[in-house]
């Protein structure tokens, strides 16, 4: 799965996972960065001044014929990072979150 390049520090994505799967992978996806979890949201501290706020909620499953795929709407809000720092963080995050296929 390839991700499009975000246009700015705030963007939204739809992930084909359940909330339980998202939470099971999130800690690893942020690497060594401190993570604070709350219901439907998380805050990640990136370096001395960087921050990522994540907010999510489940969407109705996508139906294709008889198949049902879970969907999670996730809002990303970065602050205190340059474009390069944000891109570097997302490269690791996206690879870690990538599921089978590709």
User: What is the per-residue pLDDT for 8?
Assistant: 83
> How many structural domains is the chain composed of?
1
Domain annotation covers residue 42: yes
Q: What is the CATH number for 15? A: 3.30.1370.80
**46 found inside a domain:** yes
Helices 19-29 and 83-97 cross at an angle (nearest 10°) of 130
Q: What is the pLDDT along the chain (102 residues), one digit of tens a residue?
A: 445 565 689 999 999 999 999 999 999 999 999 999 999 999 999 999 999 999 999 999 999 999 999 999 999 999 999 999 999 999 999 999 987 554
In a domain, 6, yes or no: no
Q: Which residue has the tokens 């705030």?
A: 10
pLDDT of residue 3: 54
Structural domain boundaries enclosing 41? 11-97
Distance, in Å, from the CA atom of 80 to the CA atom of 11, rounded to the nearest integer, reads 16
Residue 5 inside a domain? The answer is no
The answer to whether the beta carbons of residues 48 and 34 sit under 8 Å apart is no
Residue 70 near residue 58 (C-beta atoms within 8 A): yes
In a domain, 4, yes or no: no
Residue 102 lies in a domain: no
Query: Residue 45 falls within a domain, yes or no?
Result: yes
pTM above 0.85, yes or no: yes
Bridge partners, 89 (sequence order): none
pLDDT of amino acid 7: 63
């Amino acid at each position: 799965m390839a991700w499009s390049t975000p246009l700015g520090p705030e963007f939204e994505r739809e992930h084909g996972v359940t909330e339980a799967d998202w939470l099971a992978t999130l800690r690893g996806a942020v690497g060594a960065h401190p993570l604070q979890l709350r219901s439907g949201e998380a805050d990640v501290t990136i370096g001395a001044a960087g921050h990522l706020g994540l907010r999510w909620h489940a969407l109705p499953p996508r139906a294709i014929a008889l198949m049902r795929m879970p969907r999670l709407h996730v809002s990303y809000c970065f602050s205190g990072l340059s474009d390069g720092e944000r891109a570097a963080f997302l490269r690791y995050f996206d690879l870690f979150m990538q599921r089978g296929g590709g």
